[in-house]
Every structure is written in C-alpha cells, then in structure tokens.
Amino acid sequence: MYLGIDTHKKYSQVAVVDGDGNLQDEIRLPNDRLDELAEEYADGDAAIEASGNYRPIYEMLDEHLDVTLVNPSKNRIIADATVKTDRVDAKKLAHMLRADMLAESYVPPDEIRTLRDLVRTRKSLVEDRTAEKNRVRAVLTRTDNTYDSELFGPTGREFLAELSLSDADRTIIEAHLSVIDAYDEQIEAIEETIEQKVLESPAAQRLLTIPGVGQYTAAVIVAEVGEIDRFDEDKELVSYAGLDSTVHQSGDKEIRGGISKEGSAPLRWALVQCANIAVRCDEYLGNFYTRLKERKNHQIAIVATARKMLVSIFHMMQRKEPYDPPEVSA
C-alpha cells in the first residue's frame, strides 16, 4: 500500500492507494494516532512533506513504514496545484509515491539533527535578543536620547541607569533589559553545548583548520552539510548552498547572473562570514579575493571566495583531511 499523508499541526489527512493506483481509504486523524495507522499498514510506503513539524511524525511512522520525506519546493505538481485541499494533496502524494515521482528531502542522522537543532535554536535566540535591544533603542529615540557606543555593555548600562526618564519609560527599559539578560544566559548555555559537539565531531575539527572558520561557523557547516557522500561532486554542494550562478539562455546567448540563493541559507551565511575573515589571514584565499576585487567589487569577490572555500570543504570532508591550500608563490 502507498500512503500519502498531508500533515498539519494537530491532525493529518491520509490517502491510501494500492499497487494498481486504486484509492482504498481516506482518513483524517489526530497526529498522536498516526502510530496506529502505521501499524495497520506496516511494511507499506508512506510520503510526507518536509514541513516545520515533520520530525516527530516521521519518527513515529518510520518504525513501521518505509517513509519518503518529500521536498515540497521540488515537487511543483503539488506546490503549484490550482486546487489545493488536504484530501487532494494527500491523494497526489500517494499517487506520486506509487509512480516514484517524488523528490526526496535529506533526513540527517541523529547527531547531525541534534547539532542542526542547536545552531538553529541559537540563531533564533540571537534574533529574539536583537529584537529586544531594538526595543530599548526605540525608547531612547522616542525620548530624544542618543548613545553611540555599545549600549548593552557595562558603560552602556551605566548610561541607561543614569538617564532621566519617566517612571513608565524606566519600567519599559528595565523590562527589556531583564529579557536581554535572560537571552544572554540561554545563548551562553547553548554555545557551550555547541562547542562540546564541535569537539566531538572529527568533521568540525577539520573545518577549524581553515583560517576564518570558528567554533560556531564550523558547527553550522557540519549541521547543514550533513553526510558529504550525499553529494556526488562539489558542484552539487555549491548549488545546495545557493552559491551557484543563475543562468539565463535566449537562443544562442547564455547570460550568467548573480548567485541563485536557493538551498541552505544558514550554510551560505556561515561561508560568507568565514570568507570575510579568511581573506585577511589566509594568503591563498586573500590573493584570490584581491585579484577578483580589482576586476569586480568586494561583494562579488567575497561570494566567490566563499564558493572556493566550499569546494575545498567538499574535498576535505570527502578525503577526511585538514585544510591544505596550494603553495603561494612570492
């Protein structure tokens, strides 16, 4: 049997088709009862989309079924359908699964999933902390107060404490500062856990041999890349990071544009961060960047350097070797 499962936060719509493509059943049930369904159709095939809440559902189903995790962005028949209901989507998943027409998403092993959860949680916490800091700055702007230095360090906190503010504005700022302090503690705790995971990861340790790669960026790269053998060549990894060039063809003309920016945004961000540091402390990458910057501009040169780093990372991870750039002639 082939099960197409359209998942939602609290419930799922299921369509079951047989080997001849005949619809056998349609069921809507709470997600906590999907294990009963999996047992009923044990050893069958199932397909779910890689939505935000897929993981607990995938793990529940995977105990009894052969589960395909579907990449929604690469299955345009479903994504671009003019008629979209839960029942329609579930049936399309089931029929496409039977016809072997579904583009799969990568399901990383447990240790990679754990690291990915950690780095993405840190990112979310940092973004939330930044939002709180911006709310403090908004109060200062509204009350015509300016402060040019680091507002949330020791001297900045002294400045805030000495400001002449109304009782209401003082209460608002202190509330935001209290939330910021809580975020600081949470971020510090999660960073300690990430550093421990990096110490335990041979792949991350190899990445740290690249000038410009730090503990956190190494963790992001390992978490986002996952198992390197899922990429057959470096071009596939470059495309996955969204660092490949867009190409527009018209007749005999082929015009290359900027990078595609598809794939893993966290991986692309980490590589650009690393490249900005590496060009200042690695002669090989620094020379490459300088030559390109003279002909293009800083942004194009940095992105190209990030792409070059990623190609090196691909071969390092494949060969399980540290960073070893070509010798730079004087």
Domain boundaries, the chain: 2-98, 110-200, 206-319
Q: Which two tokens stand for residue 150?
A: 């680091």
Residue segments in the chain with a per-residue pLDDT below the cut of 50: 329-330
- The per-residue pLDDT for 9 is 87
Q: Give 154-160 contacts, CB < 8 A, sequence gap 24+.
A: 160/136
Task: Report the C-alpha gap between 202 and 137 in whole angstroms.
Answer: 42
46: which strand partners? Answer: 3, 67
Task: Report the C-alpha gap between 13 and 85 in whole angstroms.
Answer: 10
- The per-residue pLDDT for 76 is 59
DSSP 3-state assignment of 240? Answer: helix
pTM for the whole thing? 0.78
Closest CA to 242 of 144, 310, 301: 310
- The per-residue pLDDT for 112 is 93
Q: Domain 2-98: give its CATH superfamily.
A: YqgF/RNase H-like domain (3.30.420.140)
- The per-residue pLDDT for 250 is 56
- The per-residue pLDDT for 258 is 80
- The per-residue pLDDT for 329 is 47
Q: Which two tokens stand for residue 17?
A: 């088709």
DSSP 3-state assignment of 256? Answer: strand
